[in-house]
Structure 1
Amino acid sequence: MSLPTTTRAWSIREIRKDSFDGIVYQEKVPVPKLGDRDVLVQIEAVSLNYRDLSIPRGLYPFYIKLPVIPGSDCSGTVVATGSKVIRVSKGDRVCTLFNEHHLTNPITQEAAESGLGGAVDGTLRDYAVFGEHCLVKAPPSLSVIEASTLSCAPLTAWNALYGLEGNMLKPGDWVLTQGTGGVSLIGIQFAVAAGAKVVATTSTKDKAEQLKKLGASHVVNYHESPNWGEVARSLTPGGKGFDHILEVGGAGSVAQSLKAVRLEGVITIIGFLSPSEKQPPVMEVLNSLCVVRGIFVGSRQQFEDMNRAIEANNIHPLVDSNVFPFEDLKKAYQYQWEKKHFGKVVIKVAK
C-alpha cells in the first residue's frame, strides 16, 4: 500500500485580532518523506486549548512562525515508521508531545521553542510526519477522542502536581483548583485519585455541581465570595491553607492564591498572564512563604508516568458534548472562544 503524499490541513496564514479568518483550509498539502527515525501518523482527533485560539488572534506572547499548521494535541494511528524507529510500531495509537524536544526535565531553551502548532507545524491535518522522540503511546483504556486531550491540559496538571521534587502531591494533601478549564478539571481527577482533598472555584451553581461530581469536596463561588482565597483557606484543616494551588486565573487571581496557600505550599502558574491585568508584586511571595512556580506543559517522561496513572485509576478526561468535524474548525474555535464548552473541545479529523 502506497503512503499518502498529500494531506488536508488548516493553516494560520495571518493574524486577525477580531476573528479567526486568518486560518485557511488547504486541500493538498505535501506530506514530508519518512526519515530513518520518523513516524507517519494518521491523525484521528485533535483537542483545542486556549493557546490555539490566542495564536491566530495575536494574543500569544511566545514565538510563532507563519504560516503554521495549528494544533498541539492529537491522537492518531501509526501508519508507517522509518527503518531505525524503535519506540512505536505500525498500528500503535499515539499522542503528540506538546514541545517536541521536551523529553525529560529540566526543560531546555531548545525544548521551550519546539511547540507544535506555534513554532512547529502542528496537528490539524490528516497525516503528519513526526520524529519518534515526540510521540507517546496512548492509554488503551481511552477512546480516540479522550486520548486527543492529553498532550497539553492533563500533562500540565500532572506537572503542576508532581513536577517539583520534594513537593509532589501525596495522600492527604489539600489542592485548590480554579474554574472549569481543561487543566483544572483533570487536576481534580488526578488529585482525588491520589487521595488528596480538592476545593474548586467557579462562578455558577450548575458548574459547582459538575465539579462535585468529579470529586471536589467543596466549591467556592468567586462571584458570591470576591475574597475567595481566604474563604477557600478556611475550609482546610485549622485554616492552614493549601499544599498545591493550580493557578490558571491570570494576574487577577494570583493575589487570592497567595492568601490561600499554606506556608511552604506550592502555587503553580499555568498559562500566560494577561499584560493588561495588575499583577501582585513579587515580594508578596515572601509574605506567604511559599513556592511560586511557572511551568510549560511537561516532559515526555512525565507524559508516560501520567498515562500509567490514567490506566491504573481508570481516569477519563472530560470532553465537551459537542465534537466538531474537521471542516468546522472555525466553528469549534468560536465555540470555545465564547466559553460555551464544559470539558475539552475536540475536532474529529478522520473521515
Structure 2
Amino acid sequence: MALPTTTKQFILPKLGSYDYLTLSQGAVRPPKATEALIRVHAVSLQYRDLIIAKNQYPLGKSAENLVPGSDLAGEIVAVGEDVTAFKAGDRVCANFSIRHLDGDPSPETMGASLGGSIHGVLTQYITLPAEALVSIPEHLSYEEASTLPCAALTAYNALLGPVPVKAGDFVLVQGTGGVSIFGLQFAVASGATVIATSSSDEKLKLAGELGAKHLINYKKNPEWQEEVKKITGGRGVDHVIEVGGPGTLLKSIQSIKHAGWIHIIGFVAGGQDSSLVGPIIGTAANLRGILIGSVRQFKDMNRLIATHNLRPVINKVFPFEQTPEAYKYLESQAHVGKVVIKVS
C-alpha cells in the first residue's frame, strides 16, 4: 500500500492570536528505520495551546509556521525496519516530549515538546520516533485516549511521583479542568479522600459524581482554605493539584499539612503575590513544578487506567475544520474535563 505523501494540517503563520490558525497542506515524511507514521484520529487541547497561539508562553524559539497541538491518539500506518514494538494498525498516543523516555526532565527533553519548539499534532499524518509512543488502553476510544498525554500524565506524575498518594490521604483539586479531573480520578482510585473547588455548583456536582467527597464553591466561600482545614480536622491535605498559580498558591499553602505536597501545574487564576516565603518555610511545604512526564510514566499510568477501567471526561468534540472554534471554546472556560478535536 502506498503511503500518504500530503497531509491537511493547521499552522500558525505567526503568533499572537488563535485567529491566525490556518488550514494548509504539508508534506508527509516517510518513517526512518526507528520511526512510525501515524494517522491522527483525535487531538485534545491544552491551556498551553491557547497561550502559545497568543504568544504568551515562554517558548524561546518556535518552529516556523508552527503546527500546534501536543496530544494525539492515532493509528500506525507504517513503521521503519528497525521498529519491533509496534506494527501497522496499532493504536497509540505520543508522549508530550518525544525525547523524555525516563527519569527527570531536562532542557533537551523539553526542547522536544510537540506543538511548541517542534511541530505538533494538529495534522492528519505525522511521523514520530517509535520510542516516544505508547499503546492506548483497549477500553478507550481515540477521543478519550487523546486526553492522556498532557492532562492525565501531569496529574499522574503529580500524585504518583516521589511521594505517591495512598489510601487515607486527603487530596485537594482546584477546578474541573482536564488535569484536575484526572487528579480526582487517580486520587479516588488510590483510596484517597478528595476535596474539590470550583466557582460553579454544576461543575462541583460532576466532581461529586466522580468521587469527590467534599465540594467547595470558592465564589461563595472565598476563604476556602479555612474550610479545607475544617474538613481535615485542622491537619491539612497531603497533596494539592495547584492550577491557579499566584492567585491561589498562598491559600494552597495554608491548606496543606506540614510537609505536604503542592504540585504546581498552571497559572489560570493569575494574580501576583510576594508573601509566600514565610508560609512555605512555616509549613515545610514541598512545592513541586510538574513538567508532564516520561514515556515510562505514561506506560505505568495506562496500566492504572486499564486496571480501574477509568474513562476520561470529555466535554465537547469539534470536527477538524472547526479547530479555531475549539480554541475559542477552551478559552471560555465553560468546559468540565477536556476539549477534543476529531481529526479523522
- TM norm. shorter chain > 0.5: yes
Contact 1:254/1:280, CA 8 A, preserved across alignment: no
Contact 1:175/1:242, CA 8 A, preserved across alignment: yes
CA RMSD of aligned residues (A): 1.3
Contact 2:250/2:276, CA 8 A, preserved across alignment: no
1:208 counterpart residue number: 204
Please list the CA deviations of residues 232-284 of structure 1 after superposition, one character each: whole Å capped at 9, or x if unmatched: 12101x32011111100111100000000001110010035787633443343
In the TM superposition, 1:125-144 aligns within 5 A as 125-144=123-142
Give the distance between the partners of 1:309 and 1:4, measured in 2 at CA.
35
**What amino acid does structure 2 have at the position aligned with 1:286?**
I
Q: Per-residue deviation at 1:87?
A: 2.2
2:57 counterpart residue number: 60
Give the distance between the partners of 1:161 and 1:271, measured in 2 at CA.
15
Q: Per-residue deviation at 1:206?
A: 1.1
List gaps (5 residues or longer) in structure 1: none
In the TM superposition, 1:131-210 aligns within 5 A as 131-164=129-162, 167-210=163-206
1:292 aligns with 2:287: yes
Contact 2:261/2:287, CA 8 A, preserved across alignment: yes
2:256 counterpart residue number: 261
Give the secondary-structure state (helix, strand or coil) at the position aligned to 2:18: coil
Give the distance between the partners of 2:11 and 2:92, measured in 1 at CA.
23
Please list the CA deviations of residues 288-325 of structure 1 after superposition, one character each: whole Å capped at 9, or x if unmatched: 112111010111111001000000001000001x3111
Please list the CA deviations of residues 77-129 of structure 1 after superposition, one character each: whole Å capped at 9, or x if unmatched: 00000000122111110001001111111112201211100011111000000
Give the secondary-structure state (helix, strand or coil) at the position aligned to 1:229: helix
Aligned CA distance change for structure 1 residues 280 and 294 (closer, same or farther; 3 Å) = farther
Give the secondary-structure state (helix, strand or coil) at the position aligned to 1:74: strand
Please list the CA deviations of residues 31-76 of structure 1 after superposition, one character each: whole Å capped at 9, or x if unmatched: 1122000100000000000001111111112333332111100100
Please list the CA deviations of residues 2-49 of structure 1 after superposition, one character each: whole Å capped at 9, or x if unmatched: 000110000111122xx42222110x2001122000100000000000
Identity of aligned residues (%): 43
1:314 counterpart residue number: 309
Give the secondary-structure state (helix, strand or coil) at the position aligned to 2:254: helix
List gaps (5 residues or longer) in structure 2: none
Name the TM-score, length of structure 2 as normaliser. Answer: 0.97
Contact 2:248/2:269, CA 8 A, preserved across alignment: no
Give the distance between the partners of 2:70 and 2:274, measured in 1 at CA.
29
Contact 1:252/1:279, CA 8 A, preserved across alignment: no
Give the secondary-structure state (helix, strand or coil) at the position aligned to 2:98: coil
Moved over 6 A (4+): none
Give the distance between the partners of 2:74 and 2:51, measured in 1 at CA.
25
**What amino acid does structure 2 have at the position aligned with 1:341?**
H
Name the TM-score, length of structure 1 as normaliser. Answer: 0.95
Q: Which moved more, 1:275-284 or 1:149-158?
A: 275-284
